[in-house]
Structure 1
């Protein structure tokens, strides 16, 4: 598991996701396209787990007039985000913390990539509800994170596939095996059905799966329009 406070780990952060997340760059591009379906040209997007700045950079380069609010609990990762963005950082308002730290908005859209799997089901639901409260009616939310079947046999099979992808992408086989042990024991994992149910329970509608890469899944969902 990555450490988001260790300076050396933070410095190496950008090297990890492309080797661990199948289709990582395409995932970011798809997220930007899904947001652009509803976010206006001059819109403002809330990005949770914005540390590192990788998706922020993709979003900012795709939409020259969008503004962003980026929230992350790690000051070190927010510093990395600013360095990653360079001049684009002038279009981002950074906040250290969690969803409660985010301004009230309302925002034209939101994204939370590779973050929600760190939260328990209860905290995940609360975060989704708080995000919905900060969105304009009809606004999109794009999420993606670890989400795969949780029966003992299925869990083991999918984690083996995760490790195989990481090893094939250049991560040492021993490190890949250690990673799946950490994921299995330390992350509050949910099944895709449970994740979709949480989005509905938080008040989102039209929940659609748009991405599946071994242990990772991604959904787009929408705050209901005003009656």
Structure 2
């Protein structure tokens, strides 16, 4: 049986295949995710702690290309495999990457379509919140299976208290940030409603447990910004 929440999520995800919506995407994460550029920089630094100078990195949820571009510019010896189910978002990634595409292979699909590896590192940024708990755990396990022993994995996504008395407070904070950054207030309220109805948002405690159950026993929080959290773990 398809619920209203399922329909909301389907509509939300469908926007990633809408060329007009994708064309407006580039500025969205910068306005809605506090410290996005710093998150990308920290991600590269955390991966580099265990990755060689000629690493091959798996990037799940690579559509848009922003984290690929940040890491490719910071690490000229790294190569990347970027995976995303949305073809239009992969086209945007190609445009964003430009000449950096010579070190990037893009794959349309999910983790099941990713090469077997083994990879020297992996990321999954602003993506896992689209997956329900069981599929999220399975996806994390599939990422882990594709990594060399000791390889670092960075995940960051929407993660905030889900108790009824706290959830709306945090969603209001989620909306307050882009409003303060100059985003259109009608767009902000639409985004808040979409996140409230469509994302599989869990508490930080549950999200960390999923990462540990997925094979990253040392998963540790390194980033927290309003409704967003980021963890690093090792295979």
Q: Which residue of 1 aligns with 2:7?
A: none
SS in 2 for 1:206: coil
Matched, 1:157 2:173: no
Compute the TM-score of the two structures, normalised by the length of structure 1. 0.96
Aligned 1:183-222 pairs, distance under 5 A? 183-222=195-234
- Name stretches of at least 5 consecutive residues in structure 1 with no aligned partner: none
Q: Which residue of 2 aligns with 1:47?
A: 59
- Name stretches of at least 5 consecutive residues in structure 2 with no aligned partner: 1-11
Separation in 2, partners of 1:174, 1:12:
15
Shifted more, 109-118 versus 177-186: the winner is 177-186
1:168-201 Cα offsets, whole Å, 9 max, x none, are 0111222212211111111111100000000110
Q: Which residue of 2 aligns with 1:12?
A: 24
1:7 deviation in Å? Answer: 0.5
Separation in 2, partners of 1:123, 1:163:
27
- Over the aligned positions, Cα root-mean-square deviation in angstroms equals 0.9
Aligned 1:63-78 pairs, distance under 5 A? 63-78=75-90
Aligned 1:115-126 pairs, distance under 5 A? 115-126=127-138
Q: Which residue of 2 aligns with 1:108?
A: 120
1:148 deviation in Å? Answer: 0.3
Separation in 2, partners of 1:120, 1:58:
28
1:205 deviation in Å? Answer: 2.1
SS in 2 for 1:179: helix
Separation in 2, partners of 1:100, 1:203:
17
Separation in 2, partners of 1:76, 1:104:
24
Q: Which residue of 1 aligns with 2:8?
A: none
1:59-106 Cα offsets, whole Å, 9 max, x none, are 000000100000000111111111100010010111100000000000
Q: Which residue of 2 aligns with 1:178?
A: 190
Moved runs in structure 1, 4+ residues, more than 2 A?
Answer: none
Q: Which residue of 1 aligns with 2:146?
A: 134
Q: Which residue of 2 aligns with 1:62?
A: 74
SS in 2 for 1:112: strand
Q: Which residue of 2 aligns with 1:27?
A: 39
Q: Which residue of 1 aligns with 2:178?
A: 166
Aligned length: 223
Separation in 1, partners of 2:228, 2:143:
21
Compute the TM-score of the two structures, normalised by the length of structure 2. 0.93
